[in-house]
Amino acid sequence: MKPVIQIDGQTVDPHPAADVVETEPGSFSVLIGSSVFEVWASESHIALAGRRFEFSVEDPRAWKHGGAGGGVHGKASILAPMPGKVVRILVAVGDEVKQGQGILVVEAMKMQNEMKAPRDGRVTVIAVAVNASVTAGTLLAVVE
């Protein structure tokens, strides 16, 4: 069975004339006719032409990417994008918020990052407390 390749969520057939050589682990030289492409690949991303693409190759053993962050049924979860510490919570459960309004502040790498409401709605969950350490992907709050 032909593997299904997804590039940034879109099914793409590999170039039929691509001459691909792995020059060192994760580094590829590609020739299409005489056109040269320098490409880097990790387990999930490809860097090429100054751009970075997420990819997957359908394979029963391959990592399955789940949808994170939600947006399902008008519910938007705010997840910590990286490890850090919650330094301030700017709203309370039940507050009406506008898209782009600050919900809480997470400090990481000496920088304070305001996590903003992804949409208009009501804050239904605040899942962390001030001073809580969070890891990447930790649920911080939910706006419905």
Partner 1 sequence: MFEKVLIANRGEIALRIIRTLREMGIRSVAVYSDADRAALHVRKADEAVHIGPSPSHESYLNVGRILQAARCCGAQAIHPGYGFLSENAAFAQACDDAGIVFIGPSAASIGRMGSKTEARRTAQAGGAPIVPGTEEGLTSATEAAAFARDTGFPVMLKAVAGGGGKGMRRVDRAEDLFSAFDSASSEALRAFGDGRIYVEKLIENARHVEIQIFGDRHGNMVYLGERECSVQRRHQKVIEESPSPLLARMPGMRERMGEAAVKAARAAGYYNAGTVEFLASNDGSFYFLEMNTRLQVEHPVTELVTGLDLVRLQLEVAAGGKLPFTQADVALRGAAMECRVYAEDPANNFFPSPGKITRLSEPAGPGVRVDSGIYAGWTVPIDYDPMLSKLIVWAANREQAIERMLRALGEYHIGGIMSNLPLFQIILNDPAFRAGDLHTGYLDQLLAAGIDFAPPVAEEILPVAAAVALASQAGHDRSTSAVAQETSRWLAAGRRSLHR
Q: How near is the Cβ of 67 to partner 1 at its closest, in Å?
A: 16
| Side-by-side strand order, sheet with 121-126 | 76-79, 139-143, 121-126, 96-97
Instruction: Return the residue of 75, 81, 125, 127 that touches partner 1, per CB under 8 A.
Output: 81
Indicate whether 134 belongs to the interface with partner 1 (CB under 8 A): no
Buried b (16+ CB within 10 A) or exposed e, 125-141: ebbbeeebebeeebbbb
- Please give the distance of CA 99 from its chain centroid, rounded to a whole number: 20
Instruction: Return the residue of 95, 101, 108, 125 that touches partner 1, per CB under 8 A.
Output: 108
Residues of the shown chain interacting with partner 1 in the complex, contacts defined by CB under 8 A: 3, 5, 7, 10, 12-15, 18, 20, 22, 25-28, 30, 32, 35, 37, 39-43, 45-53, 55-57, 59, 62, 81-84, 108-113
